[in-house]
Amino acid sequence: MDGNIEEAKSKSILVTGGAGYIGSHTTLQLLLGGYRVAVIDNLDNSCEEAIQRVAQLAGKYGGNLTFHQADLRDKEALEKVFSVEKFDAVIHFAGLKAVGESVAKPLLYYNNNIVGTLNLLEVMIAHDCKKLVFSSSATVYGQPKEVPCTEDFPLCAVNPYGRTKLFIEEICCDAQRADPEWKIMLLRYFNPVGAHPSGIIGEDPRGIPNNLMPFVQQVAVGRRPELTVFGTDYKTKDGTGVRDYIHVMDLSDGHIAALSKLFETNDIGCEVYNLGSGRGTSVLEMVAAFEKASGKKIPLKFVDRRPGDSETVYASTEKAEKELNWKAQYGIEKMCRDQWNWSEKNPWGYRSPETTD
């Protein structure tokens, strides 16, 4: 570890979207791994408090973190960030991610996610920084015909959010094909849940949560009366949808593994990896695990399937295990324990009832 820290010390990483859920946890792990980190975030779906807490958790490494409040669509602002510091690599989390909103506001999603990424790639080229880790998603598998999903499955987008991920993956591969100096890792996340075990940082979505676990968490603390379970007639063990939940700390460590590989290997090209646990868990199993971890009863309301939802999705993790030397460690019990610890300590996330929407 000390050897790795020595090596990391000379490296400076730009993290876009680093105030957000996955970005904040990954920033912390980078700092603890000895990297210097600059975060750029427009705080559209996050707040600066998250950055302050990351610095606090990082202890003696907290001084290696800088924060720039800026939008990736503002190229001048990006230029400014790159002109004050030389980055060895970029981890690109920044983007809008709500599926329903992307259907209602497709142009906003194309503008934010795609224009933001194009600006980033252009400014990276201008400053000769050509190592990138990008947050893609299992959504690019569409409704997979079989499981587990391997990286070579056919890809398809089922909504504008998914299409932005698919387009960005292709843009990255084209850029790399045109200029082999690029080294790019496309990481397809499955379902990130949980929080840092301290309960000091965690997920704090704005508005009504779209995803299962943030919703469950808000029911547990009394912010919402019940969980709506979408679909009870899937051909799964209990009729509810099955997904691959991965602890956000495991996911963060997957980024460190990907980054190390970028620095250590010469001929990466544009490579894609699934980051999941490789296990499928149903909605009811997840609710039961959360009830056990929290001691809270989650009232349920059963309704029809949510349009566009897949029945069962989980990852093949073989490629990441073999090539990144990374494997998820934590099961759903730990995910739920840490999620509950965060929500019990921060029932209103980083905000208060007065400032929460």
- The residues that are catalytic are 161
Query: What minimum distance in Å lies between the beta carbon of 288 and ligand UDP?
Result: 13
Closest distance of CB 168 from ligand NAD, Å: 9
> Considering only residues 57, 65, 78, 229, which one is a binding residue for ligand UDP as defined by CB under 6 A?
229
Partners of 276 in the beta sheet?
none
Q: Give the nearest distance from C-beta 212 to ligand UDP in angstroms.
A: 4
Query: Could you tell which of ligand UDP, ligand NAD, none binds residue 73, using a CB distance below 5 to 8 A set by kind?
Result: ligand NAD
Q: How far is the CB of 163 from ligand NAD (least distance, A)?
A: 12
Q: First CA to last CA across the chain, in angstroms?
A: 42
Which amino acid is present at 185?
Answer: M
Give the DSSP H/E element, type plus range, for residue 264: helix 248-264
Backbone dihedral region for residue 43 (phi beyond 0: left; psi -120 to 50: alpha; all else: beta): left
Structure tokens at 122: 């252009």
Closer CB to ligand UDP, 153 or 263, in the complex:
153
- CB-wise, 95 or 241, nearer to ligand NAD? 95
Our CB check for ligand UDP shows the closer of 191 and 294 to be: 191
Q: Which residue is nearest to ligand UDP (CB)?
A: 241
- 116-126 and 160-178 helices, crossing angle to 10°: 20
Identity of the amino acid at 33? G
229 binds, among ligand UDP, ligand NAD, none (CB under 5 to 8 A by kind): ligand UDP
Of residues 60 and 253, the one with the C-beta less far from ligand NAD:
253
d(CA 243, CA 349): 25
Lookup result for tokens 């934590």: 330
Q: Which of 69, 83, 228, 325 binds ligand UDP (CB under 6 A)?
A: 228
Name which of 245, 243, 165 is nearest 203 in CA terms.
245
Tell me the window of 52-60, 205-213, 251-259, 322-330 that interacts with ligand UDP (CB under 6 A). 205-213
The CA distance from 15 to 84, in Å, is 15
From the list ligand UDP, ligand NAD, none, pick the one residue 20 interacts with, judged by a Cβ distance below 5 to 8 Å according to partner type.
ligand NAD
- What, of ligand UDP, ligand NAD, none, does residue 212 touch, CB below 5 to 8 Å by kind? ligand UDP
Please spell the DSSP secondary structure of 83-104, one letter per residue.
HH---SEEEE--S---HHHHHH
Q: Which does 215 bind (CB under 5 to 8 A by kind): ligand NAD, ligand UDP, none?
A: ligand UDP
CA separation for the pair 219, 345 (Å, rounded): 15
- How far lies 233's CA from each of 265, 279, 306, 310, 337, in Å? 47, 21, 12, 12, 29
Q: Interface with ligand UDP includes 33 (CB under 6 A)?
A: no
Residues forming the site for ligand NAD (CB under 6 A): 17, 19-23, 41-46, 71-73, 93-97, 112, 116, 135, 137, 189, 191-192, 211
CB of 141 to ligand UDP, least distance (A): 10
DSSP secondary structure, 16-63, as one string: ETTTSHHHHHHHHHHHHTT-EEEEEE--TT--HHHHHHHHHHTGGGGG
241 binds, among ligand UDP, ligand NAD, none (CB under 5 to 8 A by kind): ligand UDP
152: helix, strand or coil: coil
Q: How far is the CB of 260 from ligand NAD (least distance, A)?
A: 20
**Could you give the CA distance from residue 203 to residue 238 in angstroms, rounded to a whole number?**
28
CB 137 to ligand NAD: min, Å: 3
309 binds, among ligand UDP, ligand NAD, none (CB under 5 to 8 A by kind): ligand UDP
- How far apart are the C-alpha atoms of 248 and 193, rounded to whole Å? 6
- Closest CB to ligand UDP among 131 and 247? 247
C-beta separation of 183 from 262 below 8 A = yes
**Does 158 contact ligand UDP by CB under 6 A?**
no
SS3 312: strand
Q: Is 283 in the site for ligand UDP (CB under 6 A)?
A: yes
Contact residues toward ligand UDP (CB under 6 A) are 191, 210-212, 215, 227-231, 241, 243, 283, 306, 309
